[in-house]
Structures are given as structure tokens and as C-alpha cells.
Structure 1
């Protein structure tokens, strides 16, 4: 079935940049499109976040994110109070005027820009679009095939859409995505949900090159090894650590460079004093050793001995007369 615009609608129109449809329509989210269309419709008036939020019943923070996105794309320009920027015409056009093509002004070629990061979560492509991208791009087809090879299984349509989104919308190159998949499989987390979460974090950190990805993976590997050392020294059952535990392990092993025997000594003192494993308590012990330069088990035990010697000893005295007068023997029968 074919469609056409109702001719009556052409009696009241406003201008829409071709760039919106040609470059951004498939990438922008619903909120971003609503905000921009409202701004284009009211381009002859002062535009601000509060007015758009009220008119569209959208949270003001979401409007601000959308406006920032269009600024980064170059479609919106922030206007100073004393600056005049001519607006596009929003006059009522006849059907003939609307249908007549406009002659674009000559514009010098713009310098290439880095990938634009999406400020709100983009929508994943449907199966037809993913298939078309694989036919159009050898690089995308290689990404899908290599992902299946590394994961050791066929990936479904949703997973293919996720990988395409990480490349097209978040700007991660194919080799960086493949490196991340290899890392995830290596640590036993070869599922697309985990890969997607980490990949989005990488995009936020602007990890867009092979060298940056290698540096990030080295850091992650160091932290994983540090946690493994702490896990053994503290007799912790194998499990996925929390972010706080990873930070503690990285500090103790990578930054302070404590050996496993000192970690175990701190663990034993913590359990003796508190009756349980308390990482904050262990951290205080290790922080004290770090400040005093304790680097061996012998130094730690010597430091404990010296500390005990400096504490005053309590003298125990016994008052036999008061003890007898208390009557504790009255109910005893001696045989």
C-alpha cells in the first residue's frame, strides 16, 4: 500500500533540516526526536529546557540530555543573551511552494568529527536492518562471524543487534569489540548482557582504539589477579567480587604490594578481634602497616609485640576478707 501526505497539511509547515533524516533519524531516540521537532516548530521563539519539558510532559533532565545531543551533532547552537542568530523561516507555505525543491547554499566541507556518543540508550535494530548491514559491510559480517567463533555458539538475532548497536551507535571499532568478547569469555562471562554493559562503560571512557583497549584489559587483568590473591589469603569462597572488594584488593596487592602471608596475618587478627571477616577492619590494619613500612610477617609480629609492651599492665588484687564477707560460701556443703 502506498501513502502520500494530505495536501491540506501543506498549508501550515515548518522547515526540517535534511541532515536530521539523512544522518540521525535511525540513531536518535524518541525523546531526542520529539525535543528537536518541538524546537524546529518554535524556532521563532526563545527555546529553553523548561518550556519544552512543560509542553511535551517530559522530565527536564531528559530534555537537557536531548538538547546536548543535538548540540554535539551540530543541529543546535547555544545562544548567548546578547547574540543574534537568524532563524529559519516558519511562514505558512502553499502546496506548490512546499513541493518546489530549495537550492542549498554552498557550504564548505566540515572537518571529520569523532563518533557521537548517545546520551540515552539507543534502540536496537531489527533483524532486517542487521541483515542489510551485514550485506553492505564486510567489517560487520566479520564481527558477527568472529563473535560466534569466540563464543563457541550461534548468536541469535537480539545478540546480533546488540553487537551492531555497540559499533554503530556507541562508536566502538570491530577490533575493540572482539577484544572485549575474548576477555569476557576468558573470565567465564561470555554472555552478551555482560559484554554490552562493559562495552557501554568503555564508550563512556572513550576507549576507541586498539591500544586503549589493551591498556584497559591489562588493568582489568591486574585487578582480577589481585582479587584472586586476596581470595586465597582470606579463605573466601570463589565468587564474583563486588566493586568495593575489587578496590580493596587492588589497593592491597597492586598499590601497596603486600604479600599473601601479610594479608593472611591481617585476616587472622581481624577474626580474632571481631569474630568475622571485615574488609574495612583488615584495610585499617594494612593501612597502619603501610604507614609504618611493615613488609614482612616478622616485622608485623615484632610491631605487635612492641605495641603490647607499651600498654600498661593491669594488676589484679584480691581482698580475701571482703570475699568471705560476701556470703558466697554460705550455701556450700563441704565434704
Structure 2
């Protein structure tokens, strides 16, 4: 049963950017979201506030508030203002734009029709935006992006009446169309038909491969025409011609995604964001690490930071292992031993990492100092 959202207009409201909700909220720690929402509320009332005030209101520690602010600054959602002495004087709620890559790749052009250019229906645009963040796939199995292969997909052409009429009497295509409607749980749009004709005629997908494409996209909840087409192009450029090749491929990287999400306690989604995919590609391609090593790094990250383990933190662990010569899972034990030995020889005032031979970066140290300074200054201590 659908529900509607309404208001009695007896309360005041704080305005939250739709781009914050669409592109930042789902990936953030819930406590960080609470801090951001309260900062928006404080902005609307216009009164000065201290870190301790925020911590008291949210029933958390001052360091938790500073970690949340640090996170949102790193995401480009907040920024600081400073006086002439570079002392923090305030926090700025920044304008939040959609990721640049959406415009660069032309993914916001929703024009799609079988016979002529026309503006898409509002429902199609809404569905497009819901799926747009996860429209890219990375080749997790081999660590090679599809764009780097020689098997470049042909340009998509305009559909004419001859193309459309030929498909209306093609039994295989009619069967695929019926399956698509069943998998997508809706009537197909002109953009859907356009996409299917392109994959059928220009990418020359066999019926069995096409069926698995529809099944796979429906399974992960991504049935937008542009997303399905992007996956098909990726498979084409990887040289897949048989269903089993695609099955083996998706099983490989889906297994890695599930392992990472499980270890980090990420729920509610099955596909990484583009930024997370970049980390995964680095771990697979540059470091050459398999699922076991990556999973172990995630496990240690969540032990070290139960409420704030991020892909960036996992990357710090894996990067440290890579520099220490870890190539296979068995090498981690030796890296741990070398780390423990080095730890004993360091003086007590040196800053050390915690798990997995992860040493804090200079950026982490700067942030720690900034946190201390921020608490002191804003609280007028």
C-alpha cells in the first residue's frame, strides 16, 4: 500500500538538499547524518553554538561530533571559515551538487524514443535518477575496465519503422520483451524497447545471454534502461558471447561485494557507489589482492573503528600491507609480526596505527590536531 507525506503546517522546517539525500546520506554513518541534520537545524535558527552544545544535544562525545564534521568536510558537504590567524571561526553548509561524472558521461540526457526524439515522462526521469549512481560497472575479476579492451561496442543508432516492424514479428525478440516485462514488473517504455533492439541487433546478444542480462539486472534491482544497456555494453566489450561467461563474471565480483559489505556491516544495497568501485579496482588491479585479503582488511577495519570504518580506512590497511610486501594471505602474519616488533622499538610519544599494520597518515594527524583546536576554539577555552 502506498502512503503520502503531508503537513499540518504548524511546525517550522529545515530544508535538506535532495542531492545530500540522493548522493551522500545512504553511504554515511547514521551518527554522522544526525550531526549534519542538527547543523542544518542550527543554521535555520541562526544562533552560535559550541561543539559541546552539539554533543550534549545528540547525547554523544565531542570527539564524535568532530569526526562527523571531519567526514562531511572530506565529502565536500561542509567547509570551515577562518580568521586572519587561520583559526576556525565557523562551519559553512556548502551547496551540494550531483557528481560531476554524471554530466561528463552524458547520463543526464534522458531523451529516448523508438521513432523520434521526445521528452521522457516524469516517471522515467525519476527512475533514471534513482539508478544513476550505480550505472557503471567495474571488471572486478580481471581488474580491467571494459573501456580498455579492443572490443569496442558500436554506436547506438536511431530506430526506424523498419527496425520496429521487424521486431514485432520476431518470435525470439517478442519472447525477450515478455520476459523483460515480467522481470521489470512494469510495461516497457520506448527507452526500454530502444535499448533491447540495440542489444539484440547491434550487440548481437544470443537469447540465453540476453535472458541472463535481464535476470541479473532485475536481481540487483536495477531495471532502468540505461543501466541495463551499460551492463550489456560492458559484457560485449569483455567479449562475452555465452550465458555461462556472464554468470561466472557476475558471481566473481558479486561475491567480493557481498564479502566487503558483510564485513563492514553495510546493509540496504547490493552495488557499491562509483567512489567505492574506484577503491575496489585499486585493490584488485594495482595491489593484486584477492577476496580473502580484502575481506581480512575489512574485518580489521571494523574491529578498529566499529562505528566509522570506511572504504578509505580499509584502503589505508591494504596500502600498508602492499608497501610491506604482502602478496598472499599468508604474508599478513609476517607483516603483523614486523609491525609488532617495530611498535616496541618506537618511543611512547609516536603515533601508531591499530590493526593490520595500518599507520595513521599525516592527514589523519593533521585532522586530530584540527579536532583538538576546533573543540578548544569553538568552546572558547
Q: TM-score range by the shorter chain?
A: 0.3 to 0.5
Higher RCO (C-alpha under 8 Å, 6+ residues apart): 2
TM-score (norm 1): 0.47
TM-score (norm 2): 0.42
Q: Which structure is larger by alpha-carbon Rg, 1 or 2?
A: 1
